[in-house]
Amino acid sequence: MDEYLQKVSQGLIVAGVDEAGRGPLAGPVFAAAVILDPMRPIAGLADSKTLSESKRDSLYIAIKEAAISWSIAEASVEEIDGLNILQATLLAMQRAVNGLNVRPDEVLVDGNCLPKLSMSAQAIVKGDSKVQAISAASILAKVERDKLMRDYYEQYPDFSFHLHKGYGTKQHLDEIERFGFLAVHRKTFNPVKTILIQQGKRF
């Protein structure tokens, strides 16, 4: 994105921010913030959804090694259910930016909503495919969340979290129907919400 490169060339410290896990039925939503080093370019940065798992994993390591600063944060299932997914996502983004050990002059956020920040910020629709710093953030958030999903699979082997990553796939819905829902499921997301209502439970 020319505007991003222009800001960096002017000596501004620019952070990119993105999230992972807004849509799944289980687990926290993750966000990452990354300040790339213009003197240490990273080849292959792109929207994490367009990359293979192995490519994401290798870039994850490269970003952590080459970036001026990076931070990964999350908002819990309880916060998602208590606030709603949008507000929880913005909270995770805010935490990610605040976790940077270098204060950015400006923050570029993927999407059309901005978290509450103490510095200048801009929302960029499809920014994960336009701005390298946002691409890098999308990769960190995605890889970190996928790691947690593999941990969930170890903890709850009846649920194939390592495969469906908590999304509402047929396999995941079949597992919920067969084994019920877990503490890590989002109670305000269907079909868990409907099941709770049918059982007369409050959430």
Distance separating alpha carbons of residues 141 and 19, to the nearest angstrom: 6
Q: Would the pLDDT of 200 be above 80?
A: no
Which domain, by its residues, includes 100?
Answer: 2-148
What are residue 19's DSSP bridge partners?
31
Count how many domains the chain has.
1
pLDDT at 127: 94
Tens-place pLDDT, residues 47-81: 999 999 999 999 999 999 999 999 999 999 999 99
pLDDT at 3: 75
Distance separating alpha carbons of residues 58 and 54, to the nearest angstrom: 6
pLDDT at 82: 97
- The answer to whether position 37 is within a domain reads yes
How would you classify residue 111: left for phi > 0, otherwise alpha for psi between -120 and 50, otherwise beta? left
- The answer to whether position 176 is within a domain reads no
pLDDT at 197: 85
Tens-place pLDDT, residues 3-50: 787 788 788 899 999 999 999 999 999 999 999 999 999 999 999 999
- The answer to whether position 67 is within a domain reads yes
Q: Cβ–Cβ contacts within 10 Å for residue 117, how many?
A: 18
- The answer to whether position 105 is within a domain reads yes
pLDDT at 202: 62
- The answer to whether position 116 is within a domain reads yes
Tokens of 7: 């800001």
CATH number of the domain encompassing residue 92:
3.30.420.10
Instruction: Give the pLDDT band (50/70/90) at residue 148.
Output: very high
pLDDT at 8: 84
Distance separating alpha carbons of residues 68 and 172, to the nearest angstrom: 39
**Least confident among 22-26, 69-73, 154-158, 176-180:** 176-180
- The answer to whether position 196 is within a domain reads no
Using an 8 Å Cβ cutoff, are 141 and 109 in contact? no
Instruction: Give the pLDDT band (50/70/90) at residue 2.
Output: low
- The answer to whether position 166 is within a domain reads no
Tokens of 130: 């336009």
* Average confidence score pLDDT of the chain: 95
pLDDT at 203: 56
- The answer to whether position 181 is within a domain reads no
Distance separating alpha carbons of residues 167 and 194, to the nearest angstrom: 17
Instruction: Give the pLDDT band (50/70/90) at residue 198.
Output: confident
Q: Which residue has the tokens 């970036």?
A: 67
